[in-house]
């Protein structure tokens, strides 16, 4: 478990919650929250669901609209999990991003809040944009990893 300093919030990756299911499967498909943030809003814990999508999804159907893929991914996650979280006294936060670095509005709000905590716990000016820089680097690193796994094997 990691603590976010003086703010008193802590978070856990892949935290087990027994209410996140896929209603389309008609059976319980228990899965963990990607990140569970304790005491996030009004004393309620937040289930953060990470979702990455290519901004080119649906390009052939409707044409390219900047930010459309990430908004669609966010809406899909909200429709799938928000009700279950609310019924179990949790807050649902979809963390949707695209592989070009686009972020959904809820992600920007979450990261701004995290950035404020980082700033309040540091006297250095170098941390002013640390959270967004780290997220951007992580997205780029993940995209590169996916591309490398798709490279054809070279026989030596």
Predicted pLDDT at 125:
61
**pLDDT given for residue 119 in this prediction:** 77
1-13 per-residue burial string, b: 16 or more CB within 10 A, e: under 16? eeebeeeebebee
**Taking a C-beta distance cutoff of 8 angstroms, is the pair 52, 99 a contact?**
yes
Q: Read off the pTM.
A: 0.71
SS3 labels along 4-56: CHHHCCEEEEEECCCCCCCHHHCCCCCCCEEEEEEEEECCEEEEEEEEEECCC
Can you give the pLDDT at residue 74? 92
pLDDT tens, position by position, for the chain (156 residues)?
Answer: 444 444 456 878 888 776 665 556 555 555 678 888 888 888 899 899 888 888 877 666 666 777 888 898 999 989 988 888 888 899 999 989 888 888 888 888 888 888 887 777 776 666 667 777 777 777 777 777 766 777 676 655
Query: ∠ CA 14-15-16 to the nearest 5 degrees?
Result: 115
Calpha distance 52→152 (Å, rounded): 24
pLDDT of residue 7: 46
- Note the pLDDT of residue 140: 73
């Amino acid at each position: 478990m990691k603590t976010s300093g003086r703010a008193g919030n802590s978070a856990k990756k892949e935290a087990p919650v027994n209410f996140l299911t896929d209603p389309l499967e008609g059976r319980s498909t228990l899965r963990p929250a990607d990140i569970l943030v304790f005491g996030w809003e009004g004393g309620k814990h937040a289930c953060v669901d990470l979702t990455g999508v290519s901004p080119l999804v649906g390009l052939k159907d409707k044409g390219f609209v900047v930010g459309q893929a990430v908004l669609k991914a966010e809406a899909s996650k909200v429709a799938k999990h928000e009700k279950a979280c609310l019924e179990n006294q949790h807050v649902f936060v979809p963390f949707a991003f695209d592989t070009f670095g686009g972020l959904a509005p809820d992600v920007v709000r979450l990261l701004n809040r995290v950035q404020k905590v980082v700033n309040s716990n540091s006297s250095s000016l170098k941390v002013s944009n640390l959270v967004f820089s780290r997220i951007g680097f992580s997205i780029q690193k993940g995209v590169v990893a996916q591309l490398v796994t798709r490279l054809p094997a070279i026989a030596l």
